[in-house]
Structure 1
Amino acid sequence: MKQTRALVEGAILVSLFAVVMMISLYLPFVGTFLLLALPLPAMIQTIRHGVKPGLFMGLVSLPVSLITGSLSGLAFAVPVTAAGILMGFHYRKNEPAQAIASAAVAYMVSIVLLLFISIQFLGLNLIEEINQSYNESFNMYESIMKQFGNDDEAAKQLELVREQLKQAQYLYPTVIVIFSAITAFLNHLIAKPVLRRFAMQIPSLKPFRELKLPQGTIWLYVLTILLSLAPAEEGSVFYSVMLNASMMMGFIIAIQGFSFVFYFCHAKKLPTVLPVLFLIFGLLTPLMYLVRILGIIDIGFNLREKVKKSS
């Protein structure tokens, strides 16, 4: 009886997955939001009936995605079904943080695999295509700047943009990691109210203000900075690894800094909108460097205890 029910519900969820997939691919604005909801069918099946029915439903959804959305549909179906199954597994164990982390890993692995397949079997290097597009845009920007004059200030600006563009071409691993983490977190935000509609209680994450990284994070950050100062030929593996490691560690330390700001505002009973505005402003401005310093001090000297005593 249970097996029959699992099959029936799985068939319904596969149909729902196919419909959402079609809408996501052919309606641009609505589709962007619905793409974040695509892990839900596999997630629901896994939570209700276990990992094996979830895997079976995910495997069935792959050819259905190929039929409804061709290769584009299949490319989306692989990561979202994997993420849905993993999140459902951890939700069954009341582990929301692990659910987000495992989904992020699933997205990272899937993106790397899809890039590898596109290069090896389709002859399409998406990274090279993006780099070429960036270079063409820069050449167009350079020609426009030269039309308005070629003074020293304009030349310096062009050289700065050129250097930033060169660095950006090595940062795809960092972009993939951050994109995967953000996508997994958004999946969680969307899944939580939907799953509660199905009487599935998902425990909440700890408040962002309570995030506290281990002290070893500082030493790892310092080691990364020191290694990044070592001479390395641009374009080498070591250069690429250290550049991405520096960016990732800086981002992680900044997250700790923002967490402290949220903690401070909560302890001082300041309006919630203040730390939110600080977060947005910090991400978009050079204030990020100050936030990193704040994160290092918070980890190393336990600023929260001092704030707690003064409150």
Structure 2
Amino acid sequence: MVYFTCVSENTTGSRAEVQNDSMKPLFALLAFGALGSAFAASCEASSSDAAWKTCLASELRSSDALINSEYQKLLKTLSTAQQNTLRSEQRQWLKTRDQSCKLDSKETNREKWFQKILKDPYQTVCVVRFTDARIEELKTYNPRQDLIAENYSADDYEFYSSQQYSKGKYYFEVEVNTPQIARKQEVSLYIGVASDHMQSGWTVNVRKYMTQDRKNIVGIAFDLDNGKIYTMQDGIWRDEPGGNTGLDLKLGQPYHALVSSSVSLKGLQNQKWVRINLGQEKFNYAIPKGYKAFSK
């Protein structure tokens, strides 16, 4: 399992509503079909950060293409009045997604929009899980419904600790049962910390070919006195706590522990395939010197 780094600031607002779409899709299709096998090959053949970024990019583009296909297929089966209802619902869904994932509404070029999202793994994971949920809704769409009743609350997909700190040095762990997850589905997890204005952390990807891998322990150490965050995998620190190579955090802001998932996080937790340990249990690895458990 491999991580890639990200520091991101929240943005507000939602993308502009789509213009008259009677002759065109709500989602621009990108020609990625020929690249699909290359993406998969690079994901399996390399453990580099660049390869994992490519994996996540493939997931984002693939889900975007699929929702466009399902949406257009559904439109052809509906009456004019039902089509208008669906378009209205789709615009509301876009607005909800963009507000929840904190997307910028000003970018109208689709490829530039993709590239901007891909710079922020948290946003990428959020968009993928919203899109996948909406695809399932479109597949089972009932035109007799006034509105789709799906609740897009992040509660099922994201964990925010009730505790928050603006000073001090803290540590927590997340155990990911990679082989069990891989047997069922592919998942992207964003693990780190978040304030009202930014989130910072690492993305963990689980793919179907990882059924023979072992469980992974992700450790997060963050220093709110010096503005740094560090990550550990199975006892090996990517950046040693106390050093200058960790990612930067803005000082003076209260931070929560954050875990965000492209699929139902509650489902993974109920299966005990993802275990978030803020200090309520004994850690698998020693807390870095000078740090303390996130949850006292």
The TM-score, its normalising length taken from structure 2, stands at 0.27
The TM-score, its normalising length taken from structure 1, stands at 0.26
Name which structure has the greater RCO, CA cutoff 8 Å, separation 6+: 2
**Between Structure 1 and Structure 2, which shows a larger proportion of helix residues?**
1
Greater Rg by CA: 1
**Between Structure 1 and Structure 2, which shows a larger proportion of strand residues?**
2
